[in-house]
């Protein structure tokens, strides 16, 4: 591995024109004069960094932060208005799988077409054809028109062609999550192979754990400006903490929620020492977290889970009913489950509760309620000044009687 940069992003700015009244007809253009009513919007501003050769590099940022725009500039799909992007070697961009497929043509014809759009020669394609089909797992369907393919087949074939382009620099935008689990594993192996072969990979993802696991370094974009560039771990930590703080506003409205909804978490309550709902408890109080559920149909072996986060996003604890083997065969109708905590060892501060209802394999969310409840902890016993929890330890110090 050399330290020659594979990608040099040099002071790149990209402007988009937002047309309030778009001149898409000549008449409009003539009537209004040459210029349309345009608002300018800088999607990227003076972004500079280098991606070292052979490294895996992540781009993180919220929606609209400019990471996809930057990726498209690297892929030469967009031209920066200022600055330049230089890439040493052959680039392949996985922005959308099967983007060049023609629905009426067969899989075979599309492999050759798509491959050559991505820059692969006919001879190389012919040599790799079997491998491509094998990887996509299409078998005899390869001679069918791709419009008859399932979504999964389509995407797998697209991925298979793109990954076999054998690029020096691979740009990947949020496409890691394709196909079933087996195909996912194959994809990840392929990425690992490319990485081992010294190829450079640039990854745009919302999936922070993917960035954390795969990337060496990462850049964090915020509103088109490079906020930070550092080892991936550090970026993910920093990013998580700010994003969590931003999300606190959601809590008033119940936070984010997703799931298939056959079974629902109607309400989550924190019960204080008196057994009454409370929004404030003291360190050391006996408390209960009560999850009210409502199942529209019998849910086999439901798993309830809770998570408690500090405001800066630290995951303090995450108990669930599967870990303690408290899973009933099935549950239906309305009711509640309780988590007894006696005493609560959280130190003073503000905490958010997330509650979830999953199937036994913990793959299918029936209901997931992010930050559904917020509560405060006031000083109590034991009293400790630092940290998030008390582990309930006791000091043995010469000259001090522990019983006192």
Partner 1 sequence: MTTLTEYRSTSELLGNLTLRELRSKYKRSALGWAWSLLNPLATLLIFSLVFRFFMRVQLPPSETSGLQNYALFLSCGLLPWNYFTNSVSGSIGTLVGNANLIKKTYFPRELLVFSNVASWNVSLLIEMGILLLVFLAFGNMVLPWIPALLVLIVLLTLFVAGLSLIFSVLNVFFRDVQHLVGIVFQAWLYLTPVIYPITLIPESHVLFGVDLPLRRIWELNPMARFVGAFRDVLYDLRWPELNDIGYLALVSVATFFIGLTVFNRLSGRLAEEL
Chain residues binding partner 1 by CB under 8 A are: 16-17, 23-27, 29, 72, 75-79, 91, 93, 95-96, 99-100, 102, 104-105, 109, 112-113, 116-122
In what helix (H) or strand (E) does residue 234 lie, and over which residues does it extend? helix 232-246
Cβ distance to partner 1 smaller for residue 102 or 280: 102
Cβ distance to partner 1 smaller for residue 100 or 273: 100
In a 3-state reduction of DSSP, which class is residue 214? helix
3-state secondary structure 320-344: ECCCCCCCCCEEEEEEEEEEEECCC
| CA gap 53, 42 in Å, rounded | 29
**Minimum Å distance from CB 27 to partner 1?**
7
Cβ distance to partner 1 smaller for residue 224 or 284: 224
| CA gap 188, 213 in Å, rounded | 11
**Minimum Å distance from CB 67 to partner 1?**
16
**Minimum Å distance from CB 104 to partner 1?**
4
Cβ distance to partner 1 smaller for residue 120 or 133: 120
| CA gap 94, 78 in Å, rounded | 15
| CA gap 383, 403 in Å, rounded | 17
Cβ distance to partner 1 smaller for residue 70 or 353: 70
Strand 365-378 with 280-282, pairing: parallel
**Minimum Å distance from CB 173 to partner 1?**
9
**Minimum Å distance from CB 183 to partner 1?**
21
| CA gap 276, 104 in Å, rounded | 65
**Minimum Å distance from CB 87 to partner 1?**
11
**Minimum Å distance from CB 32 to partner 1?**
13
Q: Please name the residue ranges forming H helices in 44-180.
A: 67-74, 107-117, 122-136, 151-163
C-alpha dihedral sign at 268, 273, 275, 278: negative
Cβ distance to partner 1 smaller for residue 109 or 238: 109
CB 44 within 8 A of CB 226: no
Instruction: Classify residue 176 by its DSSP letter.
Output: S
Length, in residues, of the chain:
404
The answer for 206, left when phi > 0, alpha when psi is -120 to 50, beta otherwise, is alpha
Q: What are phi and psi of 34, to 5 degrees?
A: -65, -35
**Minimum Å distance from CB 226 to partner 1?**
21
**Minimum Å distance from CB 166 to partner 1?**
13
| CA gap 338, 12 in Å, rounded | 54
């Amino acid at each position: 591995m050399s330290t020659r940069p594979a990608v040099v992003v040099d002071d790149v700015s990209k402007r988009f024109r937002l047309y309030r009244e778009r001149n898409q007809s000549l008449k409009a253009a003539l009537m209004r004069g040459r210029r349309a009513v345009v608002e300018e919007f800088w999607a990227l501003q003076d972004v500079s960094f280098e991606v070292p050769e052979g490294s895996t590099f992540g781009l993180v940022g919220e929606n609209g932060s400019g990471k996809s725009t930057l990726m498209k500039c690297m892929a030469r799909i967009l031209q920066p208005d200022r600055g330049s992007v230089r890439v040493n070697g052959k680039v392949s961009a996985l922005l959308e799988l099967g983007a060049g497929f023609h629905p009426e043509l067969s899989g075979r014809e599309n492999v050759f077409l798509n491959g050559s759009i991505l820059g692969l020669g006919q001879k190389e394609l012919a040599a790799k054809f079997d491998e491509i089909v094998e990887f996509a797992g299409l078998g005899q369907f390869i001679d069918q028109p791709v419009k008859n393919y399932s979504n999964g087949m389509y995407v797998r074939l697209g991925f298979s062609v793109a990954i076999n382009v054998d690029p020096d620099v691979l740009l990947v935008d949020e496409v890691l999550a394709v196909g079933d689990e087996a195909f996912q594993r194959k994809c990840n192996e392929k990425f690992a192979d490319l990485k081992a072969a010294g190829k450079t990979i640039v990854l745009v993802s919302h999936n922070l754990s993917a960035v954390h696991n795969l990337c060496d370094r990462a850049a964090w974009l915020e509103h088109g400006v490079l906020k930070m560039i550092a080892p991936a771990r550090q970026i993910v930590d920093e990013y998580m903490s700010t994003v969590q703080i931003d999300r606190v506003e959601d809590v008033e409205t119940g936070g984010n929620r997703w799931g298939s909804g056959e079974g629902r978490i109607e309400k989550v309550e924190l019960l204080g020492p008196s057994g009454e709902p409370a929004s404030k408890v003291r360190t050391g109080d006996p408390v209960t977290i009560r999850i009210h559920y409502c199942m529209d149909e019998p849910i086999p072996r439901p798993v309830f889970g809770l998570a408690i986060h500090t405001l800066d996003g630290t995951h303090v604890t995450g108990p669930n009913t599967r870990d303690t083997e408290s899973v009933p065969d099935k549950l239906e109708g309305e009711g509640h489950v309780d988590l007894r905590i006696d005493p609560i060892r959280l130190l003073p501060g503000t905490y958010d509760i997330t509650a979830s209802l999953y199937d036994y394999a913990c793959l299918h969310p029936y209901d997931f309620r992010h930050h559904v409840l917020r509560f405060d902890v006031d000083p109590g016993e034991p009293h400790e000044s630092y940290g998030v929890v008390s582990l309930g330890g006791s000091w043995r110090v010469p000259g001090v009687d522990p019983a006192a």
